[in-house]
Amino acid sequence: MAVRRITAEVAGAVSEVVVVLGQAVAAEDTVVFIECMKMQLPVVSPWAGTVRAIHVEPGALVEEGQVIVDLEA
């Protein structure tokens, strides 16, 4: 199975991690919310798969392009 990496589309602070390890997600499911310029922006999975790693936690600062979740598809 292939591991696919979901990255942050914007820089900001992680406000909420919606998924847990081992959780199945569908394409377009929200995995994390990032606060950027006082807005809560969802990060959605472009693929269906199972969460294999979560690289962020609430309060963490992320940069654009930073890996936040690994999915096994």
Q: For residue 20, what is the domain's CATH number?
A: 2.40.50.100
Q: What's the pTM value of the predicted model, to 2 decimals?
A: 0.93
Q: What pLDDT, on a 0 to 100 scale, did the predictor assign at position 40?
A: 96
- 35 contact partners, CB below 8 Å, separation of at least 6: 12, 13, 14, 15, 41
Range(s) of the domain holding residue 62: 3-72
Torsion of Cα atoms, 55 then 59 then 61 then 67, to 10°: 20
Average pLDDT of the chain to the nearest whole number: 96
Per residue in 24-54, pLDDT (tens digit) is: 999 999 999 999 999 999 999 999 999 999 9
* Whether residue 67 has pLDDT greater than 90: yes
* Confidence label for 73 from pLDDT (cuts 50, 70 and 90): confident
Q: Whats the size of the chain, residue-wise?
A: 73
Q: What pLDDT, on a 0 to 100 scale, did the predictor assign at position 66?
A: 98
